[in-house]
Amino acid sequence: MSLVLDPAAQDLLFREARTANTFTDEPVTDEQVQAIYDLVKYGPTAFNQTPLRITLVRSPEARERLVQHMAEGNQPKTATAPLVAILSADNEFHEELPALFPAFPQAKDVFFAERPAREGSAALNAALQAAYFIVGVRAAGLAAGPMTGFDFEGVRKEFLDDDHTPLMIVNIGRPGQDAWYPRSPRLAYVDVVTTV
């Protein structure tokens, strides 16, 4: 085979993994979330920046506030998932660069002194980290239900601040009854890859 990753792990992370729409009531622990983060934090980003921020919505009161900002079709699953995470981009990530990228500590000021440059870089690199996070949830034997169907500004005002931009909401847990929609098609290799 061309891949060194065990076929069962390939299935767990990609081929058999699906976006869950229902979940059991089995809790997702802080220890599981920390194990997920401690695995996926090694995924590559530009300048080793780490703009992803994860807000775990655990209290019933916070869950109720979040559900009000979800698109109608996303409200029931967000209300009942064992754990919900708000993934956002920290637009002030550059303050950590001297410690995170010691090979070129001046990157903070050379490339990211202006807010628009930071916002673009934070959005791209936090989105990369969000993808790693979803794969990490799968690696923990859990299912993820990432969603962008919500009121972004409402979630920002309710849970974040002006320096954080919401990216997605992720429901996390063990898949429940009828958790999966039919698998949607994917593009073939020949439709995506070109050689020049």
pLDDT tops 90 at residue 57: yes
To the nearest whole number, what is the mean pLDDT of the chain?
96
* 33 domain-assigned: yes
* 41 domain-assigned: yes
* 179 domain-assigned: no
Expressed as residue numbers, the domain containing 137 is: 26-174
* 187 domain-assigned: no
* Beta-carbon count within 10 A of 34 CB: 10
Number of structural domains (the chain) is 1
pLDDT for residue 196: 98
| Helix, strand, or coil (residue 57) | strand
Q: What is the CATH number of the domain that holds 165?
A: 3.40.109.10
| pLDDT tens by residue, 59-83 | 999 999 999 999 999 999 999 999 9
Distance CA 188, CA 139 (A): 25
**What is the pLDDT confidence band of residue 90, given thresholds at 50, 70 and 90?**
very high
pTM of the model: 0.95
Q: Which long-range contacts (CB under 8 A, 24 or more apart) does 59-65 make?
A: 62/159, 65/158, 65/159
pLDDT tops 80 at residue 104: yes
* 52 domain-assigned: yes
pLDDT for residue 152: 98
**What is the pLDDT confidence band of residue 176, given thresholds at 50, 70 and 90?**
very high
* DSSP, res 125: H
* 163 domain-assigned: yes
* 191 domain-assigned: no
* Mean pLDDT value across residues 38-63: 98
pLDDT for residue 62: 98
